[in-house]
Amino acid sequence: MIKHIVMWKLKDHAEGADRAANAAKMKALLDGCVGLVPGLLKLEAVIAQPGLEATYDLMLYSEFTDKAALDEYQNHPDHVAMKPFFVAVRDARQCMDYEI
């Protein structure tokens, strides 16, 4: 199994919207990826909660059966289509994949 974790710090304003609106849009786009490929076992997108210490604004936690399933997800046209928006609104991104 491969676990895929990504965190984004967002710009205060980008693409005509503020940080909160862009985080909500990103979450909705990520939530739409549930079931996108057969090997995607779990996908959870969460926005940092106000009042709690957080260094990033949005996090994706996902699990895949294997590297091939993660690669299929990464290259799926629906996933690829959302990347330009994510790049435009992010200030920083961290990613970690690991096998268990």
3-class DSSP state for residue 26? helix
- pLDDT tens readout for residues 58-85: 999 999 999 999 999 999 999 999 999 9
3-class DSSP state for residue 44? strand
Domain 2-99 falls in which CATH fold? Answer: Alpha-Beta Plaits (3.30.70)
Q: Which residues does residue 82 pair with via DSSP β-bridges, in sequence order?
A: none
The whole-number pLDDT of residue 52 equals: 87
3-class DSSP state for residue 15? coil
Q: Is the pLDDT of residue 99 over 90?
A: yes
- pLDDT tens readout for residues 23-50: 999 999 999 999 999 999 999 999 999 8
Extents of the domains making up the chain: 2-99
- Closest by alpha carbon to 24, among 53, 5, 45? 45
The letter for the amino acid at 16 is: G
> Could you tell me the pTM of the whole model?
0.94
